[in-house]
A = this chain, B = another copy of it.
């Protein structure tokens, strides 16, 4: 049986001590594969794998650590957020494990509310139609207003956002690809236009969410994306679309970066496209066949 994956996003991308402390809390219970920290986003994305009990224990420890160490009132970053532990998805590595991921996420959500006394908002497969953006728009003060006016309510935990740690968005979802394309210069409006041109919400590619961000520290702008359905919108076609839209606006793509790990299927599809091999898929990659044993 393959493990499940978790990809928690924490609102700290600058302070090394806190980034490490969260990593240690997570790694005490499950296998930590990757940590991606971005100072401009002021955010770190951890990738870990384990069985249900390991991941729930790891995430509880990580969320507790983040809630103690991160104060949202003092937080500044390019990426929107509503919590110290902002969004915590459980991910099935095989689609057949989707129910396992949902059950583990629900267990985690309940225990974060009960044991850590943080408001928990279910999203994705546990609340179809609700994505992180649904909770984040307007920030924590707007979210508190919506709670107060009865527009929405936490699914677990208190009705009041934690003053320092905010709330936590918990759910289960299919593997997605968090992927950023960097554009030379400081044209934030241009980056936002490119983001609008490629994202599903504004008529772009299916399953693609995109934001234009300024990365003051890195000295460029960025189209920051979640490719939620890389079968419908192959990652290499998303990158090509961003390049095309950027070029049309006189913007230069200076490179791209992966946040977290890439699903093998997306990597192999991109390879097949470049190598001119029709239908190349993970069954054609030796090492991936060994996983099937």
* A interface residues with partner B (beta carbon < 8 Å): 2-3, 5, 31, 33-34, 47, 49, 93, 175, 179, 181, 235-236, 239, 253, 255-258, 261-264, 266-268, 270-271, 273-278, 280, 282, 284-291, 293
Contact = CB atoms under 8 A, between A and B. Distances in A.
Contacts of A256: 275-277
A288 B263 CA distance: 9
17 contacts: A33-B289, A34-B284, A47-B286, A49-B289, A179-B275, A181-B276, A236-B274, A239-B274, A256-B277, A258-B284, A261-B284, A262-B284, A263-B287, A264-B286, A264-B288, A287-B288, A291-B291
Give the secondary structure class of A's interface: mixed
A262 B290 CA distance: 13
Contacts of A276: 181, 239, 253, 255-256
Copies of this chain, how many? 2
Given A93-B287, A235-B275, 10 more contacts: A3-B290, A49-B289, A93-B290, A262-B271, A262-B286, A264-B287, A267-B271, A268-B271, A273-B274, A291-B291
Contacts of A293: 31
A262 B239 contact: no
Contacts of A274: 236, 239, 270-271, 273-274
B239 A261 contact: no
Given A275-B270, A276-B253, A286 B2 contact: no
A275 B179 CA distance: 10
Contacts of A264: 264, 285-288
A293 B31 CA distance: 9
A270 B268 CA distance: 9
Nearest to A180: B277
Nearest to A269: B271
Contacts of A262: 271, 280, 284-286
Contacts of A33: 286, 289
B175 A286 contact: yes
